[in-house]
């Protein structure tokens, strides 16, 4: 089955977002905050093609759950923009904010996975593999950050 232009664009964005998040965690771990911040602009920019995809999916009458997940993904990117780039809040150390933020993040990225599998099973597995790398890098860098903090004390 041929993949439509908009489905192909979605799959590209799903892979790109996961790779960008991997790079962000690596840069954060290495202390390259400036580069991490610049990569974040590319993450946020992914909202624009996702809005176009959303409009197309609504236009063609795609399943409601896909539309809802796309809205969640776009809203997560908007929240990211507000917290990190507009308000510039250091929220990642505040459990009252970071807990719901992480939950929102995983719901959004689960949407990327679910939609990817619906579009194409094989590419869905590729997105899943990259997402698992994303989770692995996240866990590894957070563990190393905690190890560094405990060694300083």
Radius of gyration, alpha carbons of the chain: 16
Q: Is the pLDDT of residue 46 over 90?
A: yes
pTM: 0.90
pLDDT top residue among 149 and 100: 100
Domain spans in the chain, listed from the N-terminal domain onward: 5-148
Percent of the chain with pLDDT over 90: 78
Closest CA to 138 of 33, 15, 29: 29
Q: Which H or E run contains 1? A: none
Nearest-angstrom CA–CA distance, 129 and 136: 10
Q: Is the pLDDT of residue 141 over 90?
A: no
pLDDT tens column, 60-116: 999 999 999 999 999 999 999 999 999 998 888 888 888 999 999 999 999 999 999
Check: CB of residue 126 under 8 Å from CB of residue 14. no
Secondary structure string (H, E, C) spanning 72-131: HHHHHHHHHHHHHHHCCCCHHHCHHHHHHHHHHHHHHHHHHHHHHHHHCHHHHHHHHHHH
Nearest-angstrom CA–CA distance, 36 and 40: 6
Check: CB of residue 37 under 8 Å from CB of residue 24. no
């Amino acid at each position: 089955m041929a993949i439509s232009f908009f489905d192909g664009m979605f799959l590209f964005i799903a892979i790109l977002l996961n790779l960008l998040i991997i790079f962000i965690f690596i840069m954060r771990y290495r202390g390259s905050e400036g580069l991490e911040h610049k990569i974040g602009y590319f993450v946020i920019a992914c909202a624009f093609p996702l809005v176009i995809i959303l409009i197309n999916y609504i236009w063609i009458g795609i399943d409601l759950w896909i539309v809802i997940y796309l809205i969640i993904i776009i809203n997560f990117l908007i929240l990211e923009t507000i917290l990190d780039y507009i308000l510039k809040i250091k929220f990642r150390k505040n459990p009252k904010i970071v807990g719901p933020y992480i939950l929102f993040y995983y719901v959004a990225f689960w949407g990327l996975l679910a939609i990817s599998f619906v579009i194409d099973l094989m590419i869905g597995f590729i997105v899943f593999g990259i997402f698992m790398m994303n989770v692995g890098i996240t866990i590894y860098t957070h563990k190393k950050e905690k190890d560094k903090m405990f060694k300083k004390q």
